[in-house]
Structure 1
Amino acid sequence: MPERTLEQIDCWIFDLDNTLYPASCNLFAQVDQRITSFIAGHFNIAQDEARALQKRYFRDHGTTLRGLMVEHDIDPVPFLEYVHAIDVTPVSPSPELADALLRLPGRRLIYTNGSELHARNVTDRLGITHCFDGVFDIVAAGYVPKPDPRPYDQMVQRFAIAPGRACMVEDIARNLVPAHALGMATVWVSSDSEWSHPDRAAIGTGDHIDVVVQDLMAWLETVARPAA
């Protein structure tokens, strides 16, 4: 890891969706459809109109939920419960991932724009819930999504993280910008999704990314302690 050694990292912060499981599982397609259905039902409008609103809220506010809260004062609790009531069986249990995570030195945290319940459902399916020391979700963030820098600061305070001794792993490149600014090491799990790639027009050359990996498990094996 550039400019720091493994021994200097004592806090590993992982995004959840498309990071701890492969993007090919496509869980977000289910969430995406349920968001559309929620909007259609709440406003009593057609699905195509709801879809257009959903995408505008996402574009203007960072997440659809944030747009609904800012523009319509929507209660976030029933929204999160509804959109995360999905089938997680496309994700395969991974005892190998659990083993590699447990061999990382120091603490392991999840930082997600989803809910803690969603994180628990996914990590239970993977068989890795016991590997983590805490979850910082969208509720803990005051419903302010990544990559707004404010919840990153809140997470650092809540978990007493020393940013210079932390590493953040994330599939959406722009979400690593605030982590890099805080002094964290950053790892981008790349995929074929164009929206997850660095926006070079906005952030230059992507120098906020220390390491690019295509295979999370292969990378974890290079940084985890050897098996006993």
Structure 2
Amino acid sequence: MTAEPVQSTEIGADLRHVRSWVFDLDDTLYPPERQILKRVSERIGHFMVRTTGLPLDEARVLQKRYLMDHGAALGGLMKDYTIDPEEFLADVHDVPLDDLHADEGLRAGLERLQGPRYVFTNGSTRHGERVLEQLGISDLFDGLFAVEHARLVPKPHPDTFALMLGQFGLDPATAAFFEDTARNLEHAKELGMTTILVGPHAFDAEATFVDHRAAALGPFLATAILPGDPT
């Protein structure tokens, strides 16, 4: 008996109502196997060792707890220790991006989208700019909302979504949000945004607040039904 092929992306998602497009950055606009977030996470661990005085294994445990409790390690560090947030953001995002390359399929998919495109990231502004430049798609985006714009409060905090929507003047009912972390889509769905879970495990998620799933962003955008497309 021949095994059924693994579904790699959703084909023909109906996005004709969407007028603005919001994308997470890391592991969404590029595949997770590029290991950029792993490098950032390693630098966070070493920053925590220097800040807390804990050995690396214990600092890693605390790092994971901060991620679950605060959405990012920065929030926990600011609550429990005296740190310079700007120094933290500059330090942990100082990673090589050599493994990121321009993807013609991704660019073509993004170019299909009618309406403004934005990046909504828990990373720093400079990190977002570097990644977009390295991917060769910075010219396709109309704005970048980073953790500095969120007053250092990361997704999925509701206040951060409110600040992002306000900064870009978006109507959630006509906005789509692409994310690789499922929990970051829950409040987006509550607000009325169309939610798309991106990544190799997108089809494993059973969350009802996920509208569409795509293992790879380029093929999903290439086949989506967009405003103006024939019915």
Q: Residue 224 of structure 1: CA displacement?
A: 7.2
Question: Equivalent residue for 1:35?
Answer: 44
> Is contact 1:11–1:165 with CA below 8 Å preserved after alignment?
yes
8 Å contact kept, 2:105–2:219: no
**Structure 1: distance between partners of 2:76 and 2:184:** 19
Q: Does 1:86 align with 2:86?
A: no
Q: How far is the alpha carbon of 1:191 from its aligned partner? A: 2.3
Deviations 1:132-173 (CA, angstroms, capped at 9, x unpaired): 000111111111111111111111111110111100001111
- In the alignment, the residues of structure 1 paired with residue 108 and residue 185 of structure 2 have an alpha-carbon distance, to the nearest angstrom, of 25
- Is 1:53 equivalent to 2:62 in the alignment? yes
Match 2:167 to one of 142, 158, 183: 158
Which structure has more RCO (C-alpha within 8 Å, separation ≥ 6)?
2
Residues 149-207 of structure 1: CA distance to partner in whole angstroms, max 9, x if unpaired? 111111111111011110000111111111111111111113249xx965xxxxxx511
- One-letter amino acid matched to 2:209: H
Matched ranges for 1:117-196 at <5 A: 117-192=126-201
Matches within 5 A, 1:106-125: 106-125=115-134
Structure showing the higher helix proportion among its residues: 1
Is the Cα contact below 8 Å between 2:198 and 2:214 reproduced in 1?
A: yes
Give the number of aligned pairs: 216
Matches of 1:28 and 1:212, distance apart in 2:
21
Helix, strand or coil at the partner of 1:88: coil
Seq. identity, %? 38
Moved over 4 A (4+): none
Match of 1:18 in 2: 27
Q: Which amino acid aligns with 1:79?
A: F
Indicate the SS of the match to 2:26. Answer: coil
Structure 2: segments with no counterpart, 5+ residues: 1-9
Structure 1: 5+ residue stretches without partners: 199-204
